[in-house]
Amino acid sequence: MPMRDVKEFIKTLDDTLKHFYKPKVEFLICGDINTDYLIEIKQKKKTSLIKKTYNLLHRVNFATRIQSNSSTVIDNIFEDKSIINLSSISPIINDLSDHGAQILTITSISAIINKFP
């Protein structure tokens, strides 16, 4: 998401989630969203409102982009907190990019199984 198009990104994210949202649809969103979760900024607050609307929880709380003079959390994973009860996330330093990777391990998930008569 280019910084100049923050409003457009947030609107597109909201429109996309609205399109796919149904009572039994769960979301797991991963990616470089260019919203630094280490600092309080306007775009973080707007993204957080969308997350609350769709019951999403951001999981990455460690630097994912480290440069010589800065560290940011701009890559994140948003999971549906209504179904994922227990998970952990860890950084993977890969030296292939200026962005680190993350690994999400889900150890407990709630599932509703419909039984047909």
Q: Which residue has the higher pLDDT, 5 or 32?
A: 32
CA distances 115 to 22, 44, 108, 109, Å, are 20, 41, 21, 19
Total length of the chain: 117
3-109 maps to CATH 3.30.413.10: no
Q: What are the two backbone dihedrals, phi and then psi, of residue 77, each rounded to the nearest 5 degrees?
A: -125, 125
Q: In the chain, what are the domain boundaries?
A: 3-109
Q: Which residue has the higher pLDDT, 64 or 95?
A: 64
Model pTM above 0.75:
no
Q: Which residue has the higher pLDDT, 48 or 4?
A: 48
Overall average pLDDT of the 38-47 stretch: 74
